[in-house]
Chains A and B, each alone.
Chain A
Amino acid sequence: MEIPYTVEVRRDTGLTNGKIGIWLFLASEVMLFGALFASYILIRTGAPSWPRGDTILDVPLATFNTIVLISSSVTMVMAWASLMRRRFGTFRLYMGATILLGLVFLIVKYFEYGHHLGLGEYPSTNNFLAIYYTLTGLHMLHVFGGMMVNAYFWGPGAKLWKTNPVWFTNRVEHSGLFWHFVDLVWIFLFPTLYLL
């Protein structure tokens, strides 16, 4: 059975089903991270003392990761723009760069986690580290999930371009919306955990 409204827009919403679907999903994601941010505020304001993030965490490394993730957002939107220009080869380059930048982000986090765990700093050590591991861990899972979807569109999923380029372009746009959301979450996580 053919999926309706993947290419043409619905008259009532003015949108494709995929577009409204991804935005509803992102709305639920906002509430997920919102609940964790609210928990962070409650725990921090209720604590007798709270360390500054930069006394425990590696700010230069996190700044580097911020630059990496922002760059990946640009390559992601450029991948979509390449499809809009009907340049599939350029799309592959930008999408490949997006996936690689996501991988760089995860590798940096691996070393960051390894450093802290090596020092005996576990989630159970104190509330600051519990919040740090929970928020960054959930964010890392999102980066990994986004990379998997992007890798699918870079590889086997790209076959759709030959048969239905508009649908493929829309799917890449929706994947991009998720990726930009992951970047957006990090933009708030970075100062909240590392700098304040």
Chain B
Amino acid sequence: MTSDHATTSMAGDHAVDIDKHVRVYIMVFVALMVLTVVTVAISRFHLPVPIAVTVALIVALIKGSLVAGYFMHLVSEKKLIYAVLALTVVFFAALIALPVFTTSNTFGIHDEIPVIQE
């Protein structure tokens, strides 16, 4: 599925492989549509914010993994690409963790605003 595959498969050797992949693309498409409906349906339950955030992110992660894995061919990529992405994930996680840890005690909910006594 990678570019080097393109070099060899242009000769027609991998025509059957491509047919298999096309079937996978269609299955992934159906899964993404179902998960989109699930995402909207869950939001109708009006769950508490922390639970709603967790569930929405889990569904989005599954959808994102399907796109990255199959449409972007990450399931069959070279090691160097994985290394680049691993480094990106580390820095991305640090970027997101910083504000989460800074304000984790007030995640999305402020029932009471503390009053400063003068």
Counting CB contacts under 8 A, is B3 at the interface? yes
Assess the B81–A15 pair: CB atoms within 8 A. Answer: yes
Counting CB contacts under 8 A, is A111 at the interface? no
Q: Mark A18-49 against chain B: 1 for CB-CB distance below 8 A, else 0.
A: 11100110010011001101110110111111
Assess the B56–A184 pair: CB atoms within 8 A. Answer: no
Assess the A35–B95 pair: CB atoms within 8 A. Answer: yes
Interface contacts beyond A38-B95, A85-B15: sample of 15 additional A-B pairs, CB < 8 Å, sorted by A = A13-B80, A14-B79, A15-B78, A37-B95, A42-B103, A67-B33, A70-B29, A70-B33, A70-B36, A71-B29, A74-B71, A166-B7, A169-B6, A169-B10, A188-B64
Residue in A13, A78, A85 with the greatest tally of chain B CB atoms within 10 Å: A85
Of all chain A residues, the one with the shortest Cβ separation from B28 is A74
Q: A113 vs B57: C-alpha distance in the bound complex, in angstroms?
A: 25
A residues with CB within 8 A of B = 7-9, 13-16, 18-20, 23-24, 27, 30-31, 34-35, 37-39, 41-42, 44-50, 54, 59, 63, 66-67, 70-71, 73-74, 76-78, 81, 84-86, 165-166, 169-170, 173, 176-177, 180-181, 183-184, 187-188, 190-192, 195-196
Q: Which residues of B contact A190 (CB under 8 A)?
A: 39, 60
- How many B residues, CB 8 Å from partner? 59
The contact sample of 18 A-B pairs, CB cut-off 8 A, is: A14-B4, A15-B80, A15-B81, A27-B85, A30-B88, A42-B99, A48-B110, A49-B110, A84-B9, A84-B14, A170-B3, A176-B71, A184-B68, A187-B63, A187-B64, A188-B64, A191-B56, A191-B59
Q: Which residues of A contact B10 (CB under 8 A)?
A: 84, 86, 165-166, 169
Assess the A19–B18 pair: CB atoms within 8 A. Answer: no
Assess the A44–B108 pair: CB atoms within 8 A. Answer: yes
Q: 8 Å CB contacts to A: which residues of B22-63?
A: 22, 25-26, 28-29, 32-33, 36, 39-40, 43, 49, 52-53, 56-57, 59-60, 63
